[in-house]
Amino acid sequence: MTTTDLVPALEQEEAADPFTVAGEVFTSRLVLGTGGLPSLEVLEDVVRASGTQLVTVALRRVEAAAGSSMMEVLSSCGVRLLPNTAGCMTAREAVLTAQLSREAFQTDWVKLEVIGDDRTLLPDGVELLDAAEQLVADGFIVLPYTTDDPILGRRLADAGCAAVMPLGSPIGSGLGIRNPHNIALLREQVDVPVVLDAGIGTASDAALAMELGCDAVLLASAVTRARLPVQMALAMRQAVEGGRLARGAGRIPRRWHAEASTSMAGLPDL
Amino acid sequence: MTIQVTVNGAPTDVADGATVAVLVADRSSGHDRVAVALNGGVVPRSRWTATALSPGDRLEVLAPTAGG
């Protein structure tokens, strides 16, 4: 395969097994959170550099909200919006927030977050599953932010969630994927897309998520709080594509000892 | 004649008989995608003009912002 064949190789991977959520096909496997950018000015550059087609947004009191300019920027980029329920700590709050987001953003899609406390921002699995069941019954396309517990992931998928989004590590921590084995197990457990959500610190974390079999990566802080957000957005785009290609290419088995790549046949006796 | 309601956590005096639509128009300049919660439930946009406020009502007037 020549270098010029590499882009078609990715396109072939995508054509054979596209990233599809609730019947909608995405050619980008990078989902971008918009929170944490120093200003709205870089939002458009970051979105375009990332190549993302799915962007998370939030709902806040009007006094603290970004204003219509943010929505105009996202609209001009042609991305689908994925409103979140960030900050909700009970199923009741999350369901109401999702219903309000449906009003404001005119979409049934929701990134469901129900956190257990403010310090870890870890998901509360009991409240999360309760909220997911209610929202699925109410016609929402539910993408829950969850722990890396494969069993909870399966329960969420069984409840009718359109995807399952396990954390790599706590939100904004940049600690990467702390339990890769659980992510791979979760991937085996469910038929819906698995989106690695939270904890990504740098490009290698995003590539690892894809190599583990994740269908996509959702990240915000890793790009928005990077010293050069636009450059990091491009890095994440290429990391996701690289990880996806590597997963499809099939990595070599891990060996305890070396295995020479240069043949011993014909080794001169010097 | 005014009544007191709570809007986004702050005690607020509004005209007796004021509706959600009046309140939103007053509070949401610069935002075109507003959602309103009244006493813990959603008030759809289609119901704003028909929903009159009562003393002690708790309202949340919300709009899009950036988020992860």
**Binned average pLDDT, 10 residues per bin, chain B of 68 residues:** 93 93 87 92 95 95 92
pLDDT for residue A243 is more than 70: yes
Residue A106 main-chain phi, psi, to 5 deg: 55, 45
pLDDT at A5: 64
Beta-carbon pairs below 8 A across chains A and B: 108
| A36 part of contact set with chain B, CB < 8 Å | yes
Is A61 within 8 Å of chain B by CB?
yes
What number is the ipTM of this complex? 0.94
Q: Enumerate residues 6+ apart whose C-beta is below 8 A from B33.
A: A68, A71, A104, A105, A106, B63, B64
- Taking Cα atoms as reference points, which of A265, A213, A211 lies closest to residue A243? A211
A218 pLDDT tier (thresholds 50, 70, 90): very high
Please tell me the pTM assigned to this model: 0.91
Residues of chain B with Cβ-Cβ distance to A63 below 8 Å are: 8
**Where is pLDDT greater, at A100 or B17?**
A100
Contacts of A35 in chain B (CB under 8 A): 66-68
Contact criterion met (CB < 8 Å) for A71 and B33: yes
Chain A residues in contact with B28 by the CB 8 A cut-off are: 62
pLDDT of residue A190: 96
Residue A17: band (very low, low, confident or very high) from pLDDT cuts 50, 70, 90:
confident
Cα-based distances in Å from A54 to A60, A178, A269 = 20, 25, 61
Residue A3: predicted pLDDT:
59
Residue B30 contacts A where some CB pair is shorter than 8 Å: yes
User: Can you give the pLDDT at residue A1?
Assistant: 52
pLDDT range class, residue A15, cuts 50, 70, 90 = confident
Length in residues, chain B: 68
Q: Are B68 and A99 a contacting pair at CB < 8 A?
A: no
CB A203 within 8 A of CB A235: yes
Residue whose entry in the numeric block shows the structure tokens 């979140």: A84
Of A35, A66, A104, the CB nearest to B68: A35
A220–B contact, CB cutoff 8 A: yes
| Of the candidate ranges A152-156, A203-207, A252-256, the one whose mean pLDDT is the lowest | A252-256
From residue A23, how far is each of A51, A80, A137, A151, A227 by CA, in Å?
20, 14, 18, 24, 36
pLDDT for res A8: 73
pLDDT at A202 over 90: yes
Q: What is the pLDDT at residue A4?
A: 59
Q: Which residue has the tokens 């995807």?
A: A163
The one catalytic residue among A29, A102, A111, A155: A111
A261 is catalytic: no
Looking at the complex, report in whole angstroms how far the Cα of residue B66 sits from the nearest Cα belonging to chain A. 5
pLDDT above 70: residue A189: yes
Q: Which residues contact A245 (CB under 8 A, 6 or more apart)?
A: A6, A9, A10, A13
| Distance to chain A for B7, nearest Cα, Å | 10
